């Protein structure tokens, strides 16, 4: 069973949410509107993480093959043990 989170809004924020729900017709309830906001925020964060990862890998992906050095696993292990 999903665990719920209760949130209370008052004043200007409550009015803003009401206007979004009642004024646009895009959402049937405040809960639906808030779930949509959280979902979009989640997607933005996921995209930010992927973008960050791509930036970290860019140098390797764009490197010329001549820049790579062949590695021998056995010699690496011997060196690490020494």
**In this structure, are residues 20 and 27 in contact, taking their beta carbons and an 8 Å threshold?**
yes
**Does position 80 have pLDDT exceeding 90, yes or no?**
yes
Checking if the pLDDT of 82 tops 70, the result is yes
Beta-carbon contacts of residue 9 (< 8 Å; ≥ 6 apart): 17
- Dihedral of the alpha carbons of 11, 14, 19, 25, in degrees to the nearest 10: -170
Q: What is this structure's pTM?
A: 0.66
Is 1 a residue whose pLDDT tops 70?
no
Q: How confident is the model at residue 25 (pLDDT cuts 50, 70, 90)?
A: confident
* Residue 36 burial (CB count, 10 A): 13
Tokens of 82: 């020494």
How many residues are given for the chain? Answer: 82
């Amino acid at each position: 069973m999903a665990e719920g989170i209760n949130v209370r809004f008052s004043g200007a924020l409550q009015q803003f949410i009401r206007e979004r729900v009642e004024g646009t017709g895009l959402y049937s309830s405040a809960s639906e509107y808030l779930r949509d906001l959280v979902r979009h925020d989640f997607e933005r964060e996921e995209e930010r993480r992927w973008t960050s990862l791509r930036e970290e890998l860019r140098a390797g992906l764009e490197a010329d093959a001549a820049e790579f050095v062949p590695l021998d696993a056995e010699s690496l292990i011997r060196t690490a043990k020494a």
